[in-house]
Structure 1
Amino acid sequence: MIYHVVPLAEWAAAPDRPYAPASLEEEGFVHCSPDTEVTLAVVNAFYRDAPRPLLALLLDEERLTAQCVWEEAAPVPPPGVAAGALFPHVLGPVNRDAVVRIQEVQWGADGRAVALRDAG
């Protein structure tokens, strides 16, 4: 499984079409993370002010119709992630049938992401 973070409103905006966030057009890929721990680090570094609820889509890499490549973060990984860690980058829209689970980011009293919980 690989993880992609997205606000609920963005994920729900076009449910009948493949998911294509702004990063796909701007950077050429969909940012993903390799596990829960790295996903939480990414949320705390880049998504603390994002609209909520904030979701983590768990993608089955083998179900993706777009190619997925693993690359180092540029210029550096977010705080809490080891140098040299590899991140999955999906090189096209995410087909919705590749999403096998959806979790919601849980927030601590200090405003930091602390866990992922199955969305219901």
Structure 2
Amino acid sequence: MRIFHIATLADWEAAQESGAYRTSTRGVTLDEEGYLHASRADQWERVRAAYYADVTEPLVLLEIDTELLDAPVVEEAPAPGVDETFPHVYGELAPAAVVAVRRL
């Protein structure tokens, strides 16, 4: 399965150097949140519009192959009462699991 994560170019480049991506979402680390936020193909554009519209630094869209992850992926609602689920990655993201990177 393919899932998607919006990242700053700086965070993605740092992950490639260190060997692990650990940014959960804009301004929040994996350690703080407990998982990495991700989206399905039909969700990432809405996430970008809702949470990244005012970001001025370069962004990239990471396409992740869940078969290549070392961490579990769980479909969860982002808040109580929300029916739509989103994939959450419960662990760091190895750059090798990212099969495509697209500049946004």
TM-score (norm. length: structure 1): 0.74
Q: Which has the larger radius of gyration?
A: 1
Unaligned residue ranges in structure 1 (runs of 5+): 77-82, 106-120
User: RMSD in angstroms over aligned alpha carbons?
Assistant: 1.6
What displacement does 1:10 show? 1.3
Q: How many residues align?
A: 98
Q: 2:72 aligns with which of 60, 64, 67?
A: 67
Contact kept, 8 Å, 2:15 with 2:95, in 1: the verdict is no
| C-alpha distance in 1 between matches for 2:93 and 2:33 | 15
SS in 2 for 1:15: helix
Q: Which residue of 2 aligns with 1:104?
A: 103
Amino acid in structure 2 at the alignment position of 1:12: E
Structure 1 residues 29-88: Cα deviation after superposition (integer angstroms, max 9, x where no partner) = 0000011x3101001100112243211100001110011111012157xxxxxx522101
TM-score (norm. length: structure 2): 0.85
| C-alpha distance in 2 between matches for 1:102 and 1:94 | 14
Unaligned residue ranges in structure 2 (runs of 5+): none
Identity, % of aligned positions: 38
Q: Which residue of 2 aligns with 1:109?
A: none
